[in-house]
Structure 1
Amino acid sequence: MGFELSFGFILAMLVALLLSAFRILREYERGVVFQLGRFWKVKGPGLILIIPGIQQMVRVDLRTIVLDVPTQDVISRDNVSVKVNAVIYYRVLDAQKAIIQVEDYHAATSQLAQTTLRAVLGKHELDDMLAEREKLNSDIQQVLDAQTDAWGIKVANVEIKHVDLDESMIRAIARQAEAERERRAKVIHAEGELQASEKLMQAAAMLGREPGAMQLRYMQTLGAIAGDKSSTIVFPLPIELLQGLRERDRQA
């Protein structure tokens, strides 16, 4: 009786041990297998066999991971303090390097992203952070990708989400934008005056070629004044009449 119980217990243990040797890895998973503590091979996906007690397996997810970089205090090259946060998209390309070369590749990538974000943005001025985000995203991505390549990680994309400024700096930027709009308005007004003066010179040259043209223009002006309902009528005096009076006084 005791022998049968022992045999049944041993059989159950063998069956359980045999079942534990089989592992199923999904399409996006790989298994880094160590045999007696030494790296053996990368297995998966599908059904794989692991020898219990001799081999150990570490699962690695190959899907793209979205890493939210916490808000970082950055001082720009023009000594402006801003708070910047970003999001990073990366994935594991080499499961062996991701497990062997670094203790925790997710934490290591997160810390590296924070320091790289501060280092890269600190080399640029505030205007560049606000206006050239695409270039800054590319610069950060290239630096991260070069440093994480030894870990078997590919940084696919970096996006700066928010650049938070102090209230005083926001008011300063608003004043700067207002001054810029006023400058453009003055330039446009000056260009309009220049174009109007050029057209007036052309009109005066055309009217000066024909003496009768000035008289016709004079009659048109009188007609416009007569059609006005105002009680005050301004009667324009031709300049030619004044010139005639001056010449008669000289002759006298």
Structure 2
Amino acid sequence: MRSKAKQAREAEQAPARVKALTGSMAAPTAKKTSRNSVYLFAIALFLTSGGLFAFLVWNASLPVALLGGVAVGLVASSTVRIAPQWERVVVLRLGKFNRIDGPGLYVVVPIVESVAARVDQRIITTPFSAEEAVTADLVPLGIDAVLFWMVWDPKDACVEVEDYSSAVWWAAQTALRDAVGRINLAEVATRREQLDNEVKEILEEKTRAWGITVVSVEIRDIAVPSELQDALSKEAQAERERNSRLLLAEVEKDISEMFVEAAAVYERNDKALQLRTMNLIYESVKEKGGLVIAPSAFGEAFNNIDGFLK
């Protein structure tokens, strides 16, 4: 078992490890969905409401107009908000869960209500790895995989777990280690699809209570220790050679059995043997074309040919 100090170090290094792993995978770069419309709406609402208030009280007092305009603008922009199509907002009232808002326009009562979280409900891609995962035959492997998941219940994702993204990453790594520990080294490569499904089932059991569903788990790479790669190559070569020899032996056995059956037929009927001899002579003449020198025993097949044809 790993010590608590080592587990603590891994927990501290988790964000950097995820970032490094994501960079090393060289995923195709794409422009992320913009939230500029949300910010522009808040700025426009702030300027409009604040400017309108300042205009109405401008003649009374300049400082009051400016300070009041800023205050009104801040209150208005924090009260009336918008959420993109893919986003859901968890709203708390006096510290208790109240509702899920979005997408589109929604209102938050200042001081009384607050936005606890903004949850993206699109499919999220998370790369993760299991470094030195030990198989059932005690072989350490390095495995890289990709997890596709999404939040289907924003309330549970916000209330039931502190940081659902980190929780999903740690759960995926643990599930992969557990799944690898149940099989041997030789089965890791041949049962990759089954291993994906097993990790997916383990993750679904853990994340269902968090309002998260796992779409799929895909293993990208399996790193075998360099000192074992040569041994595995020789083992695979020996296995293929063994299979080829067994196949050759089975073929020779089948051919010998056919020869035995043919000999029994020839032994029971002399005419069958003569026909076979004549057929061999015909094939030799056909292949070489012309006169063929053959043993004198071949000529016996043509003896008493008149009686044979009758």
Aligned with residue 102 of structure 1, among 150, 154, 161 = 161
Paired residue for 1:55? 113
Instruction: Return the TM-score normalized by structure 2.
Output: 0.66
Alpha-carbon distance change, 107 to 221 in structure 1, aligned in 2, over 3 angstroms: closer
The amino acid that maps onto 1:24 is I
The one-letter code matched in structure 1 to 2:126 is: L
Deviation at 1:95, TM superposition (A): 0.9
Equivalent position SS for 2:266: helix
Structure 1: where are the runs of 5+ without partners?
241-252
Structure with greater strand share of residues: 1
Aligned to 1:248: none
Aligned to 1:106, the other structure's residue is in SS state helix
**Which of 168, 185, 189 is residue 244 of structure 2 equivalent to?**
185
Letter in 2 for 1:46: G
Identity rate, percent: 32
1:37 and 2:95 correspond: yes
Q: Residue 162 of structure 1 is aligned with which of 207, 218, 221?
A: 221
Q: 1:195 Cα deviation (Å)? A: 2.2
CA gap 1:203/1:46 in 2 versus in 1, 3 angstroms: same
1:126-167 deviations in whole A, cap 9, x for unaligned? 122111122211111111111112211111211121111123
**Larger RCO (alpha carbons 8 Å, 6+ apart):** 1
Instruction: Give the TM-score taking structure 1 as reference length.
Output: 0.80
1:148 pairs, out of 188, 201, 207, with: 207
Post-superposition offset of 1:179:
1.8
Structure 1 residues 186 and 34: CA distance shift in structure 2, 3 A: same
Larger Cα-atom Rg: 1
Number of aligned residue pairs: 235
**Aligned to 1:68, what secondary structure does the other structure show?**
strand
1:82 aligns with 2:141: yes
Distance 2:239 2:164 in 1: 48
1:4 equivalent in structure 2: 61
Whether the aligned pair in 2 keeps the contact of 1:72 and 1:114 (CA below 8 Å) is no
Question: In the alignment, does 2:177 pair up with 1:118?
Answer: yes
| Alignment gaps of 5+ in structure 2 | 1-57, 301-310
Partner Cα distance (2:243, 2:231) in 1: 18
